[in-house]
Amino acid sequence: MEAFLSGAELAGRQKKKKLVELDVAKLNEQLRRVNVVFVAGNISDEEYAEQVAEIKRKLEKAKQAEKDERPPDLKILKQFLKSDFASIYATLSKEDKRRMWRSIIEEIYIDGIHPCGIKFRA
C-alpha cells in the first residue's frame, strides 16, 4: 500500500494535468477570439455558431479530462496505514476480513496465476 501511495502521489504531479490545464486555457482564449471576430463583423452568424459549438465541445472534453486526471484522495488509505489494523485484523471474523479488504481494494490484476498489481479504492 505504501508503494501505491507513493506512486499515486508522484503520478498526481505529472505533466498530463498541466497539459489539460493549458488546453482549457487555450480553448477559452480561442472562444474569446471568435467572439471578437464575430462582434467585429468578420464572420457570419452560421460560421460563428459552428465555431462556438465546436470550441465548446472541445472545452467540455478538456474539462472532463481535467476531472479524470485529478489525483485520487489518498487520506483514507494513509489513515488506514497509520492505524493499528494488524491487531484489529486478528480479531475479525472471516467475513469481516473479506469486507475490510473489499472496502480497500478495487481490483487485483493477475498474470497467469500470479498477482501482478492492485488497484486500491481512493
Check whether residue 96 and residue 42 sit in a common domain. no
pLDDT tens across 79-100, in order?
Answer: 777 787 778 888 999 999 999 8
Is 115 or 40 the better-scoring residue by pLDDT?
A: 40
Say if residue 58 is in the same domain as residue 112. Answer: no
Same domain for 55 and 7: yes
What is the arithmetic mean of pLDDT over 47-73?
Answer: 80
Are residues 25 and 63 part of one domain?
A: yes
Same domain? For 60 and 16 the reply is yes
pTM score, whole prediction: 0.45
Quick one: angle between helices 15-39 and 45-68, nearest 10? 160
- pLDDT at residue number 54: 93
Are 60 and 92 part of one and the same domain? Answer: no
Domain count, the chain: 2
Q: Is the pLDDT of residue 14 over 70?
A: no
Average pLDDT over residues 33-47: 92
Buried b (16+ CB within 10 A) or exposed e, 38-76: beeeeeeeeebeebeeebeebbeebeeebeebeebebee
Q: Which of 4-13, 78-87, 107-116 shows the lowest per-residue confidence on average (mean pLDDT)?
A: 4-13
Are residue 12 and residue 41 in the same domain, yes or no? Answer: yes
Give the domain extent around 89: 75-120
Backbone angles phi, psi at 70, to 5 degrees: -65, 140
Q: Are residues 44 and 61 in the same domain?
A: yes
What is the rounded average pLDDT of the residues 35-54?
A: 93
How far, in Å, CA of 84 to CA of 34, rounded? 59
